[in-house]
Amino acid sequence: MKKLLLLSLILLTSLTSRAQDLELLLYAKDDASKLMENYMNPVMEGMLFSLNNGWYHTAKTHKKLGFDITFNVNASIVPSGSKSFVFNQDDYKYLKLANGDKTATMQTIMGDDNDQNIIVSTNIQGKTVKATSFSLPNGITGDLPINAVPSPMVQVGLGLPFKTDLKVRYLPTINTDDVNGSMFGLGIQHDIMQYLGPLDKLPLNVSILAAFTNMNIDYDLQNSSSMAGKNQKASFQMKAYTVQAIASLNFPFIAVYGGVGYDFGNTTLKLKGDYELEYTDATTGITFTDAISDPINLDFNANSFRTTLGARISLGFFKIYADYSIKKYNTISTGIAFSFR
C-alpha cells in the first residue's frame, strides 16, 4: 500500500523538486505566482483528469455483498498545446528576457528543455534592483515512458441492496523524510435496468455513477531549500469529481463497456513558510534583505465532457480490462480485478 501511494505521488514529488529550483521566482514577488501557474498547469490539470478514471469496467452491479478488488493505472495524455506557454514580458512587472525579446515560448513541466534566460528585478526602497537571473527548470517528459500524467489506484467495490455498488479508494497517510500524503475516494454506481421490466434479462446493463477522489500532499522543502527561513514546504490539495452514465454488454468471457459524462475538479498549490530574500544592487553592490511568508497560493480548475470505450476479459473471478476516454486530456486506463459476485 505504501509503495502504491508513493507511485501515485511520483508526478507531484517531481513537481516539488522543481519547486526547489523555482524558489528563485520568489524574488519577483507578484510575478512569481503567474509564472509558476503557467509552468505547472498541465500536471495539475492532468492529475485531475487522471484521478477521475478507473472507477468501473462494467455497468453491471454486484449482487448484495458481492465485491471486487481492482488494481488500476490511469494515464492522462498531455495535449501538445499544453507542453509549452508563451512568455509575454508585458504580463510581468519584474521579469524580462535576457536576450531583449518581448516574447518567447517556454516549456512547461510536461514539456522539454528550457534555455531562455530570464532576468529578475525588483523594487527596494524606491530603487529598481537587478536581483538574479535564471532559466525555468527543464520538463520531465524524459522521465516518463509517455508524455502523460499517471495515477495508480487500489479500489474496492461492495454490492449493496437495490443493485447499488459502493466503491472506495483509500490509502492511509504515508510519511517519508520529505513527503506526507494521503488519498481517499468514494463512488456510488446504481443499476437502472431494474426499472425497465423485461429488458433486465438482456446482456445489456445500464447504470449511473457519481464519484470523487481527494488527494493531499505536503512536501518538506526546508532541508533542501536554497533560501534561509523556516517551515518551508509545498502543499497540494486535489479534489476530482465525475458523473457518468455507463452501459455494457456482458458475455461469459468478454464485456464491452462505455460511458458518457462530465469531469471537474480543482487543485490548490501553496508554497508555505518564511523565506529570506537577498537583493544586490548591480550598480552599487549594496545588499538589501527582505522577508516574505506563505508566498504562493494558486488555484487550478479543470472540467471537460468525456466519452469512454473499453473492453474486459473474464477468466472466472479474474478480470483484465482497458479503456480509452476522450476528454480535454485523453486518458488511458488499464488494470486487473478480482471480482466475486
Q: What is the pLDDT at residue 301?
A: 93
Domain assignment of residue 52, given as a range: 2-78+152-340
pLDDT band at 141 (very low <50, low <70, confident <90, very high): confident
pLDDT band at 124 (very low <50, low <70, confident <90, very high): low
Single-letter amino acid, residue 236: F
In a domain, 239, yes or no: yes
Which of 279, 283, 280, 278 shows the shortest CA–CA distance to 227?
278
Conformation bin of residue 65: beta by default, left when phi > 0, alpha when psi is -120 to 50: left
Give the count of beta carbons closer than 10 Å to the beta carbon of residue 268. 15
Residue 177 clears pLDDT 90, i.e. is over it:
no
Query: Would residue 108 count as lying in a domain?
Result: no
pLDDT at residue 54, as a whole number: 94
Average pLDDT value for residue range 168-188:
82
Residues 6+ away with beta carbon under 8 Å from 273: 221, 222, 229, 230, 231, 232, 233, 293, 294
CATH code, domain with 23 = 2.40.160.20
Gyration radius of the chain's alpha carbons: 24
Residue 215 above 50 pLDDT? yes
Residues 320 and 302: their CA atoms lie apart, in Å, by: 30
Residue-level pLDDT at 1: 40
Is 304 contained in some domain? yes
Is residue 103 in a domain?
no
List pLDDT tens digits, range 50-81: 999 999 999 999 999 999 999 988 989 989 88
Q: Residue 180: its pLDDT value, please?
A: 79
| pLDDT number for residue 18 | 54
Highest mean pLDDT among 42-46, 143-147, 289-293, 307-311: 307-311
Let me know if residue 105 belongs to a domain: no
Share of the chain above pLDDT 70, in %: 87
Does 120 reside within a domain? Answer: no
Does 127 reside within a domain?
no
Q: pLDDT-based confidence at 7, cuts 50/70/90?
A: very low
Would you tell me the crossing angle of helices 10-21 and 30-51 to the nearest 10 degrees? 170
Q: How many domains does the chain have?
A: 1
Which is more confidently placed, 131 or 270? 270
Neighbouring-strand partners of residue 157? 68, 167
pLDDT tens-digit series, residues 86-123 = 999 999 888 889 888 899 999 888 888 887 888 887 76
Cα 277 to Cα 111: distance, rounded to the nearest angstrom:
29
Alpha helices in 194-339 (DSSP H): none
Per the domain annotation, does 291 fall within a domain? yes
pLDDT level of residue 3 (50, 70, 90 thresholds): very low
294 to 229, 230, 272, 276: CA distances (angstroms): 11, 11, 4, 12
